[in-house]
């Protein structure tokens, strides 16, 4: 893994700017999947921040090359609540909503790219897309075809309830790495954010060494040291005394030694375990002094054998040779003390005497599991493939805020599981909102049909200040001259404005944007807006304005010159513009095929959202899909009825949208069928209340439309009470309500359904 990241970093650092290298990152990480190695962009980002040895400026250059843009540092303040050059403490998760549609996938992806490029958080920048969006047709075209089949597994999480992992919490600050043979006494662990990890010769993690380990391990080892000093003094006295008997001393068991008698029962137990399990002296404290020396000598060659042999030859009371004996014994015990002071022995004391497991977790271990594992320890280590990645300090886990979340295309926290330790920092949304933040958040909301209208507008504001690899200086000069000659022509004036923006950006040189990144963003924005507006069938003035600008900029990028192919002031329907038609005709013919497939397979919950106490699903069909809808109608409704939810109200919209060809030609054929909204409530007071409120508000909102109500007998009186008797009401035998109306007249969940829900 390290080699992969080092090679990737070298490539990124050497590549010239401007560039957009996200596809290269995905390609290189994807290449390791065949080798059984699953790597993600978060793994690489952790390496970049903590193990690459690059300066912060160099790290940010790598980020900019990956994301294809270098925006001025103050730009981050327009998207995230940070001061100039500052960062949010912890990680930030940019997330899409549940049951993701194209709008939220594109919006969250673009938001994540912004966050990653601008380095707005101190830790990681994550992208989260709940469930699996791969079945969305445009997702295949925009993401999988461009970046590869493993795009989402490499770049995003897919959590329905957000969390943080060890990678988000880990750091290398205050982390020291030691070898097994290093001495514990040489290590100072002052302060709460210091930790040591111990590795073997190959760099494999062997264990951790924290401030709380020092005293308890010392307690065990000092028990042996007390014995060593007593034995050493006893031998010296025996050797110089006429009555001394070294043989008796050697035959004495360790538990008979004076220091051991003074130990508490617990300390004697520790010493016994230390001798038997760590030093491999089977009898423990029952072993004799000679056993101790012989076993240790056999394994470690400390010098006890030479001492014993020399002592055996020494005659009692002789002064000659005493100094040599003293030196031999002192040297042997010195080597023993040096051995027991190593990390190798200290870790065995933790494991075999105190029976403590290694305190380490995998990089993808969640914060909830880490809190359970760490208990009263001051830190826990993060390892992968038995190699150290970093350390998580307990003091870090005690912070009430562990990270931040950026919501894209929604702002109601109940639409996805957001734990208390994640604070909402940024919102980009176009829906009815219900949000409360604990600190100032950066919020962009507009009454538009697609969140990507807001995203595109922000992108235009950022990109106009950046140098692009577009037209040459000579081409810009020619465009300026042409614009000056046609100063009375509105089209040329608009082009001239764009040319001047490019000129100013090049003069100011505040940053750069690669044309491939720009084209990729604009194409994604365009398809997402077209999808959410049903090919502009439902749009605001700003939706219209942004689509015009997107098409003009995309064509300009294709032709490598600033041009205008759609007049923003034209009265002709935008959808009939041939340049726009070029973008949507292929995908919308494929969408018809996709709807056919979903009707046959009954996959009708791809576009489902929780809105208040209601679960609202929508199935959009094209005129060519109507025969298949009629064939599968009963099975489709049965699937919807059986779909379990905690929400007290269930709604299914079966709506017809116009086909691409009809829209381009300006033809609106009369549909023979009717669209439907199916409503089902739980058999509770809450369910009946929710349904009554929805029906009342819906009929008020759609007062000018002819709507037929089909309901079960037991609900007819309730419906009449809520809606009055002057309505087209039929009875059927099913327990749900059906609202029928002219095809294509009620198609917007945001505009037609959301305002009617509690």
pLDDT by residue (tens digit) across 109-122? 999 999 999 999 99
Task: Sheet with 205-209: list strands edge to edge.
Answer: 175-179, 195-199, 205-209
Pairing, β 403-408 against β 422-429 = parallel
- Residue 309, judged by CB atoms within 10 A of its CB (0-12, 13-18, 19+), counts as exposed
Residue among 686, 702, 680 nearest 756 (CA): 702
Sign of CA dihedral 307, 309, 315, 321: negative
Residue among 356, 336, 47, 34 nearest 213 (CA): 356
Peptide bond into 474 cis (omega under 30): no
Q: pLDDT above 90 covers what percent of the chain?
A: 69
Helix (H, G, I), strand (E, B) or coil at 609: strand
- In this predicted structure, the answer to whether residue 3 has a pLDDT above a threshold of 90 is no
DSSP per residue over 458-510, as a string? Answer: HHHHHHTTSEES-S-HHHHHHHHHHHHHTTT-HHHHHHHHHHHHHHHHHHH--
Report the pLDDT value the prediction gives residue 487, as an integer from 0 to 100. Answer: 78
In this prediction the pTM is 0.84
pLDDT tens-place string over residues 588-612: 888 888 899 889 998 888 788 888 7
Helix (H, G, I), strand (E, B) or coil at 181: coil
Residue among 686, 509, 661, 476 nearest 584 (CA): 661
Give the count of beta carbons closer than 10 Å to the beta carbon of residue 429: 22
* pLDDT band per the 50, 70, 90 thresholds, residue 243: low
Give the number of residues written for the chain. Answer: 758
158 CA to centre of own chain = 9
- In this predicted structure, the answer to whether residue 659 has a pLDDT above a threshold of 90 is no
- In this predicted structure, the answer to whether residue 24 has a pLDDT above a threshold of 90 is yes
C-alpha angle 423/425/429, rounded to 5°?
Answer: 115
Top pLDDT among 85 and 155 is at 155
* pLDDT band per the 50, 70, 90 thresholds, residue 316: low
- Tell me the average pLDDT across 180-203: 87
Top pLDDT among 247 and 699 is at 699
- In this predicted structure, the answer to whether residue 743 has a pLDDT above a threshold of 70 is yes
Q: Which helix (H) or strand (E) holds 608?
A: strand 608-611
Contact 160, 130 (CB under 8 A): yes
Contact 62, 12 (CB under 8 A): yes
- Tell me the average pLDDT across 359-370: 95
- Tell me the average pLDDT across 210-238: 91
- In this predicted structure, the answer to whether residue 261 has a pLDDT above a threshold of 80 is yes
Q: Residue 356, by phi and psi: left (phi above 0), alpha (psi -120 to 50) or beta? A: beta
Residue among 92, 750, 137 nearest 453 (CA): 750
Report the pLDDT value the prediction gives residue 448, as an integer from 0 to 100. Answer: 94
| Partner residues linked to 376 by β-bridges | none
Residue among 604, 584, 608, 582 nearest 595 (CA): 604
Top pLDDT among 244 and 225 is at 225
Contact 443, 430 (CB under 8 A): no
- Residue 654: HSE in the Cβ half-sphere, 13 Å Cα cutoff: 26
Pairing, β 69-70 against β 512-513 = antiparallel
Task: Show the 3-state SS of 339-369.
Answer: HHCEHHHHHHHHHHHCCCCCCEECCCCEHHH
Q: Which helix (H) or strand (E) holds 615?
A: strand 614-621
Mean pLDDT, the chain, integer: 91
- Helices and strands of the chain, counted as H and E runs: 29, 21
Give the largest Cα separation in the chain, rounded: 127
Q: Which helix (H) or strand (E) holds 597?
A: helix 578-601
- Tell me the average pLDDT across 377-397: 94
357 CA to centre of own chain = 29
Task: Sheet with 649-656: list strands edge to edge.
Answer: 608-611, 614-621, 649-656, 674-681, 737-742, 708-711, 728-731
- Tell me the average pLDDT across 536-548: 92
Contact 179, 346 (CB under 8 A): no
Which DSSP letter does residue 378 get?
Answer: S
- Residue 459 and residue 528: Cα distance in Å, rounded? 15
Contact 325, 307 (CB under 8 A): yes
Contact 706, 728 (CB under 8 A): yes
Helix (H, G, I), strand (E, B) or coil at 538: coil
Helix (H, G, I), strand (E, B) or coil at 573: coil
- Residue 304 and residue 328: Cα distance in Å, rounded? 8
Residue among 312, 314, 279 nearest 298 (CA): 279
- In this predicted structure, the answer to whether residue 34 has a pLDDT above a threshold of 70 is no
596 CA to centre of own chain = 34
Give the count of beta carbons closer than 10 Å to the beta carbon of residue 455: 29
Q: pLDDT above 70 covers what percent of the chain?
A: 98
pLDDT tens-place string over residues 564-587: 999 999 888 999 999 999 998 888
Pairing, β 195-199 against β 175-179 = parallel
For residue 448, report the phi and psi dihedrals to the nearest 5 degrees.
-125, 170
Report the pLDDT value the prediction gives residue 340, as an integer from 0 to 100. Answer: 94
- Tell me the average pLDDT across 88-105: 94
Top pLDDT among 331 and 725 is at 331
Please list the alpha-helical segments (H only) found in 602-723: 626-642, 660-665, 685-701, 713-723
- Residue 501 and residue 488: Cα distance in Å, rounded? 19
Give the count of beta carbons closer than 10 Å to the beta carbon of residue 334: 14
Residue among 449, 451, 422, 421 nearest 96 (CA): 451
* pLDDT band per the 50, 70, 90 thresholds, residue 304: confident
Distances (CA, A) of 483 to 168, 354, 551: 52, 82, 21
* pLDDT band per the 50, 70, 90 thresholds, residue 244: low
Distances (CA, A) of 371 to 134, 211, 350, 392, 397: 34, 19, 21, 10, 7
- Residue 565 and residue 491: Cα distance in Å, rounded? 10
pLDDT tens-place string over residues 132-188: 888 888 899 899 998 999 999 999 999 999 999 999 999 999 999 999 999 998 888
- Tell me the average pLDDT across 457-478: 91
| Partner residues linked to 709 by β-bridges | 729, 739
Helix (H, G, I), strand (E, B) or coil at 207: strand
First CA to last CA across the chain, in angstroms?
51
Q: What is the dihedral of CA 163, 100, 638, 621, to 10 degrees?
A: 180
Give the count of beta carbons closer than 10 Å to the beta carbon of residue 251: 13
C-alpha angle 649/653/657, rounded to 5°?
Answer: 165
Residue among 127, 129, 118 nearest 94 (CA): 127
pLDDT tens-place string over residues 317-340: 566 678 888 899 899 999 999 999
- In this predicted structure, the answer to whether residue 242 has a pLDDT above a threshold of 70 is no
Using only C-alpha atoms, what is the Rg of the chain?
A: 37
* pLDDT band per the 50, 70, 90 thresholds, residue 35: low
Distances (CA, A) of 641 to 602, 630, 698: 12, 17, 21
Contact 224, 275 (CB under 8 A): yes
Helix (H, G, I), strand (E, B) or coil at 442: strand
Q: What is the dihedral of CA 268, 277, 187, 226, to 10 degrees?
A: 30
């Amino acid at each position: 893994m390290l080699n992969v990241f080092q090679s990737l970093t070298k490539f990124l650092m050497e590549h010239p700017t401007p560039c957009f290298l996200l596809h290269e990152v995905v390609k290189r990480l994807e290449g390791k999947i065949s080798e059984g190695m699953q790597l993600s962009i978060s793994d690489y980002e952790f390496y970049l921040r903590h193990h690459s040895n690059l300066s912060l400026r160099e790290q940010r250059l790598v980020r900019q090359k990956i994301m294809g843009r270098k925006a001025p540092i103050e730009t981050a303040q327009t998207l995230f609540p940070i001061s100039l050059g500052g960062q949010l403490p912890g990680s930030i998760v940019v997330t899409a909503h549940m049951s993701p549609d194209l709008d939220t996938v594109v919006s969250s992806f673009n938001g994540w790219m912004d966050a990653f490029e601008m380095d707005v958080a101190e830790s990681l920048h994550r992208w989260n897309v709940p469930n699996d969006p791969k079945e969305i047709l445009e997702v295949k075209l925009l993401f999988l075809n461009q970046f590869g089949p493993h795009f989402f597994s490499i770049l995003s999480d897919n959590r329905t309830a957000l969390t943080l992992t060890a990678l988000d919490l880990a750091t290398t600050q205050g982390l020291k790495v030691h070898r097994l043979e290093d001495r514990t006494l040489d290590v100072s662990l002052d302060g709460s954010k210091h930790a040591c990890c111990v590795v073997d010769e190959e760099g494999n993690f062997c264990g951790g060494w924290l401030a709380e380990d020092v005293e308890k391990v010392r307690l065990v080892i000092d028990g042996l040291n007390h014995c060593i000093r007593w034995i050493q003094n006893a031998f010296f006295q025996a050797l110089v005394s006429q009555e001394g008997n070294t043989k008796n001393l050697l035959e004495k068991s360790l538990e008979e030694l004076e220091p051991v008698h003074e130990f508490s029962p617990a300390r004697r137990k520790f010493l016994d375990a230390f001798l038997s399990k760590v030093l491999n002296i089977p009898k423990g404290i029952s072993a004799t002094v000679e056993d101790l020396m012989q076993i240790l000598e056999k394994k470690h060659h400390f010098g006890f054998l030479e001492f014993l042999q020399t002592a055996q030859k020494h005659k009692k009371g002789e002064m000659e040779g005493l100094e040599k004996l003293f030196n031999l014994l002192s040297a042997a015990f010195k080597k023993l003390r040096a051995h027991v002071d190593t990390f190798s022995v200290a870790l065995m004391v933790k494991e075999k005497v105190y029976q403590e497991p290694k305190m380490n977790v995998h990089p993808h271990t969640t914060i909830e599991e880490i809190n359970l594992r760490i208990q009263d320890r001051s830190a826990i280590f993060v390892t992968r493939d038995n190699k150290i990645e970093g350390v998580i300090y307990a003091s870090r886990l005690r912070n009430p805020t562990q990270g931040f979340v950026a919501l894209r295309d929604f702002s109601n926290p109940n639409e996805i599981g957001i734990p208390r330790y994640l604070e909402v920092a940024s919102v980009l949304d176009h829906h009815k909102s219900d949000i409360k933040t604990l600190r100032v958040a950066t919020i962009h909301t507009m009454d538009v049909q697609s969140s990507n209208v807001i995203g595109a507008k922000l992108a235009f504001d950022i990109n106009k200040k950046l140098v692009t690899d577009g037209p040459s200086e000579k081409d810009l000069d020619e465009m300026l001259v042409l614009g000056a000659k046609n100063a009375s022509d509105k089209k040329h004036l608009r082009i001239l404005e764009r040319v001047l923006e490019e000129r100013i950006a090049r003069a100011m040189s505040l940053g750069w944007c690669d044309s491939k990144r720009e084209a990729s963003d604009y194409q994604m924005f365009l398809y997402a807006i077209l999808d959410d507006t049903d090919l502009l069938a439902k749009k605001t003035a700003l939706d219209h304005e942004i689509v015009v600008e997107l098409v003009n900029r995309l064509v300009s990028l294709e032709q490598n010159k600033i041009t205008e192919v759609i007049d923003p002031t034209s009265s002709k329907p935008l959808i009939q513009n041939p340049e726009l038609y070029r973008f949507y005709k292929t995908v919308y013919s494929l969408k018809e095929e996709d709807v056919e497939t979903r009707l046959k397979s009954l996959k009708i919950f791809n576009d489902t959202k929780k809105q208040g106490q209601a679960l609202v699903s929508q199935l959009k069909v094209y005129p060519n899909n109507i025969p298949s809808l009629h064939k599968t109608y009963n099975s489709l409704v049965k699937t919807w009825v059986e779909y379990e939810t905690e929400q007290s109200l269930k709604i299914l919209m079966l709506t017809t949208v116009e086909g691409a060809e009809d829209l381009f030609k300006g033809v609106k054929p009369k549909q023979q069928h009717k669209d439907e909204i199916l409503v089902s409530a739980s058999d509770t007071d809450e369910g009946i209340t929710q349904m009554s409120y929805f029906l009342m508000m819906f009929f008020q909102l759609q007062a000018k439309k002819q709507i037929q109500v089909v309901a079960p007998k037991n609900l007819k009186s309730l419906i009449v009470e809520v809606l009055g008797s002057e309505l087209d009401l039929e009875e059927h035998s099913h327990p749900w309500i059906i609202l029928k109306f002219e095809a294509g007249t009620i198609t917007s969940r945001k505009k037609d359904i959301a305002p009617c829900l509690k």
